[in-house]
Amino acid sequence: MEVKHTETNRGNKAIIVDGYVYRKINTLKNGNIVYICSVSKNCKKSLTTDSDGVNVVKSRNQHSCKNEPNERKAEARQLRVRLKKQTQDYIKSPAAVVKSELTRIEDSNLQDRDIRNASMALYRHRRKNLITVLESIAPPQAPLERVLTTSQSGEVKMSNLGRIFKYTNCRLIRGGDLITDDLWVRDGIIVNPEEIFFQEKVSADVVVDCKGAIICAGFIDVQINGAFGEDFSNTDNIEDCVSKVAFGILAHGVTSFCPTIVTSSGSTYKQVVPRVKKRNGSEEGAGILGLHLEGPFISKEKRGAHDVDLIQTFNNGMSDVTKIYGEDLSNVAIVTLAPELERSAEVIRELVSRGIKVSVGHSVANLIQGEEAVNSGATFITHLFNAMLPFHHRDPGLIGLLTSKRVPSDVPFYGVISDGIHTHPAALRIAYRVDQRGMVLVTDAISAMGLPEGEHRFGSQTMEIKGRRAVIKGTQTLCGSIATMDMCVQHLRKSTTCGTVKALEAATFHPAHFLGITDRKGTLDFGTDADFILLDDDLKVLATYIGGECVWSRQELE
Amino acid sequence: MKLAILDNYVKVSEWAAKYIKRRILDFNPGPDNFFTLGLPTGSTPLGTYKKLIEFHKAGALSFKYVKTFNMDEYVGLPRDHPESYHSFMWTNFFKHIDIQPENAHILDGNAPDVMKECDDFERKIAESGGIELFVGGIGPDGHIAFNEPGSSLVSRTRIKTLNKDTIMANARFFDGDMSKVPRQALTVGVGTVMDAREVMILITGAHKALALHKAIEEGVCHMWTVSAFQQHPRSIFVCDEDATLELKVKTVRYFKDLMTIHNQLVDDPVNDKIKGVKSS
């Protein structure tokens, strides 16, 4: 009797003998394999083959099922099995696989419907196995091992392709209010559940209970000079430096940032600027929106901690700028300059035409010069109150831009360091009451941010971190800000009457509005990137999500 | 006909929601046995929907095996327009419950072939075994769904042009601007609703009083299309005190006396106590 090996519909071993299908039920101690008739449980006809499955050594009982042996069905089954075995080969399209199989069969009893059914089974099988195969091709990276090469930033983890996540039992910032609503995310984008309900007619695949947390868009920090001991303007390996900071600030709720370079030499810029590319965030760190070049075209009197010898002018216009920064400015998002410098209007216009946002700061400009800069295209004021002329009632200086009638009402935006140290709370309140729309929270953090209390050496200087202040050792001179973004938001809410929503918007929607990226970041609107954070009522960060994936969670620490 | 008279809008919503809950639970729906519910839109059923969502959140009621069919939808209004009936049902009801999306049927006002859409809707109702309970409201001119005065009492799902009264009544949702209100709508017919095994009409507010009077105390007339339900074997009208202002004192007294019996239809003392739902 000829024994043909095949599979049952479920995938278990089976044989076809004389047109009857027998499924395997048992392997004996001596290696023989027992099969019984697979038509029904009542039919007790069984065959036993040797361990190779070639010969039938025993046959028991008679068929009690009324089945007629059907050659056609047996062949159809064999075709199905052969096609299924070929699902491993994903290069070939299913249609090609079917065709190649059919050419092998000459005279057969197969009908068209058998062929159709078999190919349908192949499609089903492939679809089911597609996801597991993709995972085996691209193994998911271990979260703690941060491989500092081209990461899968921005790409959705293969296993979560197409799955719909519903975050419920939470409060969202929507339309300027804190409302109780659910957040739906799919493939790293915030989606509209109403459309999914009526158009696609499917429900959420995964429901996450947020236990009453507040959900808002991830924080955006447009001015940060370094952190965790790393200084962007002073490093040999800028890529590692940026990645380390990008990873660390996830814990502060920052999902996108602009690494800031202070006044440096031309060679530093040419080394650093081409190497820091704009990229999406991932579990390896926050996304990079572009570099913020703070200097060297600033005022010598208001240079703050910048190196006086490296300060430049652009008397030859844009060519001086590209001589220092380099020709390719595609990685640059923001440039801070002093508008009182000659030819600043022209330089501002040229930078803006290249898609770069211009900010005025580190300057002794008066209000007229500031207005001219804004009317030429500048849209930001770097750390309001700091490194500019103080407010005077007959010449408000750059601070007067907040209420100037000679500039459009929706510009400029202004950064504030709301750590309670660099800006007095009363000054913060004045700025808030005067122009709440334009307030953008920045950290302007230095390398000591994120480091523990005590002394730290940086080059030739020793810094001392005492509480929330970083001073030069032995003095009271501030070195710079070490506040984290979530601390800035908490301080803003505490110091002003702005309330939770406005405090959070100052760190999310306003910076996104300034950078012109509100279509992707800074809000929880439908269609934007799913970069969001979970906060408790004290505005402490509970978890950070980028592209719908949880990249940091407080629970990991506890 | 049963006429349940409650004190005010809140009590009407509660009573109606409890009735629906009781009917669904008594029916005991399952994966091969769905409870089909007809649903209205507008301000009247809002309170009922809120109460049903409360029951669902308390774990007392699941909509997993419930199919719903809405009465109407505007023609030509985008589905995601805030005043479309799709948006209304999503925001006020579907979003908060566990109904399966493929079981929530609403007429598509933007379908390319309107007649086919209406026929398909009728077919879907028939395929799901007919509607078990159709909940509806009433217009000030006595219309059910968008079956304006003069609609045939045996009509089926079709497209209707809205008359001026209805457009005025709906203008308040479109910033008071009558020109923004859609002129046509797809609606189930009076006959379609009559085919349901049970009909419940909610009527609240003094402005509906005349319509209620014409619907239950006068004859069956196509000018007051809700009066067609006088010929339905199982109909319930739920109203508040204000809506009874045009009714005869005799009618009101008669049905108020029956309230103890009517309340037995909604109360489920054993389960309500377990699930913590307050009884009426």
- Nearest residue on chain A to B108, alpha-carbon basis: A198
CB proximity B106 to A under 8 Å: yes
- pLDDT score at B271: 61
- Nearest residue on chain A to B102, alpha-carbon basis: A201
Mean pLDDT to the nearest integer, A151-177:
75
Contacts 24+ apart (CB under 8 A), A77-83: A77/A6, A77/A7, A77/A16, A77/A21, A78/A4, A78/A6, A78/A16, A79/A105, A79/A110, A79/A114, A79/A115, A79/A118, A80/A117, A80/A118, A80/A121, A80/A122, A81/A6, A81/A7, A83/A118, A83/A119, A83/A121, A83/A122
Say whether A201 and B101 touch across the interface (CB within 8 A): yes
Q: Tokens standing for A419? A: 């750590």
Whether pLDDT at A512 is above 90: yes
pLDDT band at A82 (very low <50, low <70, confident <90, very high): confident
- pLDDT score at B180: 85
Q: Would you list the DSSP string of A27-73?
A: E-TTS-EEEEESS-SS---EEEE-TTS-SEEEEES---S-PPP-HHH
Burial classification of residue A282, based on how many CB atoms lie within 10 Å of its CB (0-12 exposed, 13-18 middle, 19 or more buried): buried
Percent of chain A whose predicted confidence (pLDDT) is above 70: 91
- B-chain CB neighbours of A198 within 8 Å are 79, 86, 90, 101, 104, 106
Residue B262 DSSP one-character state: H
CB proximity A203 to B under 8 Å: yes
How many Å apart are CA A61 and CA A138, to the nearest integer? 52
Q: Would you list the DSSP string of B150-189?
A: T--TT--SEEEEPPHHHHHHHGGGGTT-GGGS-SEEEE--
How many Å apart are CA A505 and CA A487, to the nearest integer? 14
CA of residue A245 relative to chain centroid, distance: 15
When scoring A179, A194, A207, A525 by the number of chain B Cβ atoms within 10 A, the one with the most, hence best to mutate, is A194
Whether pLDDT at A98 is above 80: no
Buried b (16+ CB within 10 A) or exposed e, A97-124: bbeebeeeeeeeebeeebbeebbebbee
How many Å apart are CA B237 and CA B212, to the nearest integer? 9
| pLDDT, tens only, A22-62 | 888 888 888 888 888 888 888 888 888 888 777 888 888 88
CB proximity A194 to B under 8 Å: yes
The contacts of residue A272 (CB under 8 Å, 6+ apart) are A232, A238, A261, A264, A291
CA distances to A65, B14, B139 from B214, rounded to whole Å, are 70, 25, 12
Residues of A marked as catalytic: 444
Sign of CA dihedral A468, A472, A475, A476: negative
A-B CB pairs within 8 A amount to 29
- pLDDT score at A133: 56
- Nearest residue on chain B to A199, alpha-carbon basis: B101
Give the closest residue to A272 by CA, choosing from A317, A328, A320, A216. A328
**Residue A134 C-alpha, separation from nearest chain B C-alpha, in angstroms:** 30
pLDDT band at A66 (very low <50, low <70, confident <90, very high): confident
How many Å apart are CA B166 and CA B175, to the nearest integer? 15
- B-chain CB neighbours of A204 within 8 Å are none
- pLDDT score at B247: 95
Closest Cβ opposite residue B94 in set A182, A197, A200: A197
- pLDDT score at A480: 83
- pLDDT score at A537: 93
- Nearest residue on chain A to B104, alpha-carbon basis: A198
Percent of chain B whose predicted confidence (pLDDT) is above 90: 79
Mean pLDDT to the nearest integer, A229-233:
90
- Give helix then strand counts, H and E, for chain A: 13, 30
| pLDDT, tens only, A321-352 | 999 999 999 999 999 999 999 999 999 999 99
- B-chain CB neighbours of A197 within 8 Å are 90, 94-95, 101, 104
pLDDT band at A131 (very low <50, low <70, confident <90, very high): low
- pLDDT score at A188: 92
Whether pLDDT at A214 is above 80: yes
Give bridge partners of residue A256 from the DSSP assignment: A220, A287
- A-chain CB neighbours of B106 within 8 Å are 198
| pLDDT, tens only, B144-188 | 998 989 999 999 999 999 888 888 878 888 888 888 889 999 999
Averaged pLDDT score across all residues of chain A:
86
Say what the pTM is. Answer: 0.75
How many Å apart are CA B97 and CA A8, to the nearest integer? 41
State the ipTM, two decimals. 0.88
CB proximity B105 to A under 8 Å: no
**Residue A549 C-alpha, separation from nearest chain B C-alpha, in angstroms:** 24
- pLDDT score at A445: 92
- B-chain CB neighbours of A194 within 8 Å are 80, 86-87, 90-91, 95
Q: Tokens standing for A142? A: 């271990």
Whether pLDDT at B235 is above 70: yes
How many Å apart are CA A552 and CA A75, to the nearest integer? 55
| pLDDT, tens only, A394-426 | 989 999 999 999 999 888 999 999 988 888 999
For tokens 């026929």, the residue is: B119
- pLDDT score at A337: 94
The contacts of residue B274 (CB under 8 Å, 6+ apart) are none
When scoring B53, B56, B57, B80 by the number of chain A Cβ atoms within 10 A, the one with the most, hence best to mutate, is B80
Residues of B marked as catalytic: 72, 141, 143, 148
Say whether A194 and B102 touch across the interface (CB within 8 A): no
- Which secondary structure element, helix H or strand E, spans residue B6, and what is its range? strand B2-6
